[in-house]
A and B are shown apart, each in its own frame.
Chain A
Amino acid sequence: AQTVTQSQPEMSVQEAETVTLSCTYDTSESDYYLFWYKQPPSRQMILVIRQEAYKQQNATENRFSVNFQKAAKSFSLKISDSQLGDAAMYFCAYRSPYNNNDMRFGAGTRLTVKP
């Protein structure tokens, strides 16, 4: 079974600075999909960014980008120009294309943004 590991329970960043959240995963599949979700105190899980394993190019969404290292099974999230609204719990998630709608989440990283 696939597992997702987020080794940083908590991270802190100064407003306007850059922070990187780490995520590693274990799988024997060659095709899969990776996601970063954000869950602010309002509770709603919001998709931040996604990456298809067959794509070599790292995904980017405005201030959010990933460093996808397929061989190392690593999928880190970089947040540039951090804003107070970025403070939230961030979950890394793995989705298999073969296991009916199953998505595996990491334990999460709580990000604090200091003004």
Chain B
Amino acid sequence: DTEVTQTPKHLVMGMTNKKSLKCEQHMGHRAMYWYKQKAKKPPELMFVYSYEKLSINESVPSRFSPECPNSSLLNLHLHALQPEDSALYLCASSQQLPGTGGIGSYEQYFGPGTRLTVT
């Protein structure tokens, strides 16, 4: 099973709403990622979890709050978003060697994304 799943596929929320994006993988990967992608642009890294611990936060505003409850699940909690946060949010996972800075050629497997619209 080389699948990363994401729910929901589409989400429309107001600026005062609280919502969550969910990502799941059952490949035994210990590194999981959140990316933000604007139209016709490459994905921009937001967060990286390695062995369920946050290892990279690319200076993302606090209105985005990641959570990794276990090795298979990754959530992104959203609160008080702005219209400019509208984008495709991609989750990815990859193998991770323990105790290293990420050494390995392991490619990232991506989910289908959540299309977020903030009104």
Contacts and interface: CB of A to CB of B under 8 A. Distances in A.
A44 B113 contact: yes
Nearest to A42: B112
A87 to B, nearest CB: 15
Contacts of B45: 102-103
A101 interface: yes
A99 B43 contact: no
B15 to A, nearest CB: 24
A70 to B, nearest CB: 15
Interface in B5-46: 31, 33, 40-43, 45
A112 to B, nearest CB: 14
Interface in B85-101: 88, 90, 92, 94, 96, 101
Interface in A25-64: 33, 35, 37, 42-47, 50, 52
Interface residues on B, range: 20 to 34
A105 B94 contact: no
Interface in A63-115: 89, 91, 95-103, 105-108, 110
A47 B112 CA distance: 13
B41 A99 contact: no
Contacts of A44: 110-113
Interface in B29-67: 31, 33, 40-43, 45, 48, 50, 55-56
A47 B56 contact: no
Contacts of B110: 37, 44-46
Contacts of B88: 43
Given A45-B92, A99-B102, 16 more contacts: A33-B107, A42-B112, A44-B112, A44-B113, A45-B43, A45-B110, A50-B107, A89-B40, A97-B103, A100-B56, A101-B55, A101-B94, A101-B96, A101-B102, A102-B45, A102-B48
19 contacts: A33-B105, A43-B113, A43-B115, A44-B111, A44-B112, A45-B43, A45-B110, A47-B109, A52-B105, A91-B43, A97-B102, A97-B103, A98-B102, A100-B55, A100-B56, A100-B101, A101-B31, A101-B48, A105-B42
